Amino acid sequence: MSGRRKSRGSGRQRLTADERAGFARQRRELIGKLIIQDGWEGAIVIEHIRGSQYLVRFADGTEKYASHKKQKGKGNDGLTRAGWQLWEQK
C-alpha cells in the first residue's frame, strides 16, 4: 500500500506531510530565480503568493502577477524554463 488515502467524493489523493513540505520547499526555492522561458527573458521571481501564484519582476522593471505550472519530465530546470503565464483576471 502506498500510504496515501483517497479523499471521499473528490477522487483526489491526499498528500503526505513529507510531500507537502517538499512542494512548499520547491516554491520557496523559486524566489530570486531568473526565468528563461521564451518571452520572459530577464524576469525574476520576487515573491511566492499562494499555490502556483507568484510576483515577477520583468527586465523593464515592471512587476506583474504570474502563475506557474510544473513541467513533467524536466526536473528542477523546468521550473524556470517553461510553464509561466500572466495571471488572468476573471
pLDDT band at 1 (very low <50, low <70, confident <90, very high): very low
- What angle (nearest 5°) sits at the alpha carbon of residue 22, between those of residues 89 and 56? 35
Confidence band, pLDDT 50/70/90 cuts, at residue 89: low
> Quick one: pLDDT at residue 20?
93
| Look-up of cell digits 523593464 | 60
Domain boundary assignment for the chain = 32-85
**78 or 37, which is more confident:** 37
What are the tens digits of pLDDT across the range 27-56? 898 899 999 899 898 999 999 999 889 999
What pLDDT, in 10s, does the model give residues 3-27? 555 556 667 889 999 999 998 998 8
Helix then strand count (H, E) for the chain reads 2, 5
Q: How far apart are CA 73 and CA 83, in angstroms?
A: 13
What mean pLDDT do residues 60-86 have? Answer: 80
CA 40 to chain centroid: 15
Three-state DSSP at 75 gives: helix
